[in-house]
Amino acid sequence: GAVVSQHPSRVICKSGTSVKIECRSLDFQATTMFWYRQFPKQSLMLMATSNEGSKATYEQGVEKDKFLINHASLTLSTLTVTSAHPEDSSFYICSARDGGNQETQYFGPGTRLLVL
Partner 1 sequence: QKEVEQDPGPLSVPEGAIVSLNCTYSNSAFQYFMWYRQYSRKGPELLMYTYSSGNKEDGRFTAQVDKSSKYISLFIRDSQPSDSATYLCAMGDQGGKLIFGQGTELSVKP
Among 21, 93, 96, 113, interactor with partner 1 by CB under 8 A: 93
Q: Can residue 113 be called a binding residue for partner 1 (CB under 8 A)?
A: no
4-22 as b/e, with b when 16 or more CB fall inside 10 Å?
bebeeeebebeeeeebebb
Question: In this structure, what is the dihedral angle of CA atoms 39, 42, 38, 67, given to the nearest 10 degrees?
Answer: -80
Q: Which residue's CB is nearer to partner 1, number 75 or number 108? A: 108
Q: Can residue 32 be called a binding residue for partner 1 (CB under 8 A)?
A: yes
Q: Can residue 78 be called a binding residue for partner 1 (CB under 8 A)?
A: no
Q: At residue 25, what is the residue type?
A: S
Among 7, 20, 44, 70, interactor with partner 1 by CB under 8 A: 44
Q: Which residue's CB is nearer to partner 1, number 46 or number 68? A: 46
Question: CA separation (Å) from 102 to 18, 46, 74, 83, 99?
Answer: 33, 17, 15, 34, 6
Q: How far apart are CA 72 and CA 49, in angstroms?
A: 14
Q: Can residue 108 be called a binding residue for partner 1 (CB under 8 A)?
A: yes
Which residues in this chain contact partner 1 in the complex, by CB under 8 A?
1, 4, 6, 32, 34, 41-44, 46, 49, 91, 93, 97, 102-110, 112
